């Protein structure tokens, strides 16, 4: 399966309020700020999200993501985003360029903790 990695356009930059380096919006592709296009860790992080989204049939990924984020706001406050299980898996393995070859389905589930 081919994954399109595209430069983040002005509209997406406006929507994300200039806060993100990259974002995965499957099935459309991965969008990366121009200055980060060659950053392998960021691309790998987003490729992990790509796998998470496909294994959860895309829509369920977004539903789970939002619900977990809302719950974590009460538990973790400002750290809610980085404590989301999907983000925990992606950050923990972003530097491992072989991770996607050995990753088991639903591996993000082990990162759910209070």
Tell me: pLDDT of 35 over 80: yes
Per-residue pLDDT at 4:
78
C-alpha separations of 91 from 2, 3, 9, 11, 28 in Å: 23, 20, 24, 26, 22
Mean pLDDT, residues 23-52 taken together: 94
Per-residue pLDDT at 14:
82
More confident residue, 50 or 10: 50
Mean pLDDT, residues 52-63 taken together: 97
Q: Into how many domains does the chain fold?
A: 1
The C-alpha angle with vertex 95 and arms to 57 and 83, in degrees rounded to 5, equals 60
Q: Which of 27-31, 51-55, 110-114 has the lowest mean pLDDT?
A: 110-114
Strands of the sheet containing 22-25, edge to edge, are 5-7, 29-32, 22-25
**Domain region containing 105:** 5-111
Confidence of residue 8 (pLDDT cuts 50, 70, 90): confident
């Amino acid at each position: 399966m081919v994954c399109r990695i595209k430069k983040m356009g002005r509209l997406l930059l406006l929507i994300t309020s200039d806060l993100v380096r990259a974002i995965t919006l499957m099935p459309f592709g991965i969008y990366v700020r121009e200055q980060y296009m060659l950053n392998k860790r960021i691309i790998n992080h987003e490729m992990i999200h790509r796998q998470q989204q496909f294994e959860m049939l895309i829509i369920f990924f977004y539903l789970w993501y939002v619900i977990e984020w809302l719950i974590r706001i009460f538990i973790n406050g400002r750290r809610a985003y980085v404590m989301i299980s999907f983000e925990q898996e992606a950050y923990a393995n972003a530097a491992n360029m072989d991770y996607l070859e050995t990753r088991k389905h639903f591996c993000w589930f082990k990162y759910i903790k209070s």
